[in-house]
């Protein structure tokens, strides 16, 4: 799992560096981004965006029309879900699923005034998982996690200045993150799909 993620990251990073080197003589613009997201997993037996996660990475922008451009990214993004329990109703069990991805979104962006609207797919590689219940870390997962994820993304950017903009984006996995059905004390998990709402600050070099 980690080896595949490293190969994927190295390939994307090589492309990013090559494009950045040529950006002085082309229309490429490079930048960095960092932020947080909130996530849930549709079909995991829980409900609600109860998990807060980090996200950070690099991006390249390539203009090809007066108001249109493509943005390619290499990001670390954490997803998953969290069931906090409900002590007021006698539910004291908790569960937390952490999924760490290296992801490569490719987005079409259209400018309107200070806004950039975006849509596109993303390919992610899962390189780490962690599960916790009321007693601590779960030593053996009951899920068969898929190593690859395909996302659909929709977002909006707002420019604070010429080089700084804020991004808000929705991610929705198109393929289940698990390949089997798991029955646990906390629920029955069939197809589980990551849903993410993220926000980030972006700096263009």
pLDDT at 88 (0 to 100):
72
Tokens of 100: 């760490």
pLDDT along the chain (205 residues), means of 10: 59 57 64 97 75 96 87 96 78 88 96 94 96 89 88 97 96 88 55 92 96
pLDDT at 20 (0 to 100):
55
Task: Identify the CATH class of 2-204.
Answer: mainly beta
Task: Indicate the domain borders of the chain.
Answer: 2-204
State the pTM of this model.
Answer: 0.83
Q: How many CB atoms lie within 10 A of CB 66?
A: 7
pLDDT at 10 (0 to 100):
60
pLDDT at 179 (0 to 100):
79
DSSP collapsed to 3 states, the chain: CHHHHHHHHHHHHHHHHHHHHCCCCCCEEEEEEEEEEEEEEECCCCCCCCEEEEEEEEEEEEECCCCEEEEEEEEEEEEEEEECCEHHHCECCCEEEEEEEEEEEEEEEEEECCEEEEEEEEEEEEEEEEEEECCEECCCCCCCECCEEEEEEEEEEEECCCCEEEEEEEEEECCCCECCCEEECCEEECCCEEEEEEEEEEEEC
């Amino acid at each position: 799992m980690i080896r595949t993620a490293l190969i994927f990251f190295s390939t994307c990073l090589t492309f990013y560096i090559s494009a950045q080197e040529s950006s002085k003589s082309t229309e490429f613009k490079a930048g960095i981004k960092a932020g947080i997201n909130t996530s849930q997993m549709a079909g995991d037996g829980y409900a609600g965006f109860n998990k807060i996660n980090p996200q950070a990475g690099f991006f390249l922008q390539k203009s090809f029309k007066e108001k249109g451009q493509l943005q390619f990214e290499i990001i670390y993004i954490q997803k998953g879900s969290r069931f906090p329990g409900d002590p007021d109703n006698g539910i004291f069990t908790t569960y937390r699923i952490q999924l760490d991805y290296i992801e490569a979104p490719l987005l079409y962006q259209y400018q309107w005034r200070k806004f950039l609207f975006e849509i596109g797919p993303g390919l992610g590689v899962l390189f780490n998982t962690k599960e916790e219940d009321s007693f601590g870390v779960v030593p053996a997962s009951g899920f068969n996690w898929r190593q690859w994820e395909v996302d659909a993304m929709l977002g909006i950017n707002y420019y604070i200045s010429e080089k700084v903009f804020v991004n808000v984006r929705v991610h929705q996995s198109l393929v289940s993150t698990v390949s089997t059905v798991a029955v646990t004390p906390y629920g029955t998990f069939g197809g589980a799909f990551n849903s993410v709402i993220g926000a980030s600050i972006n700096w263009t070099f």
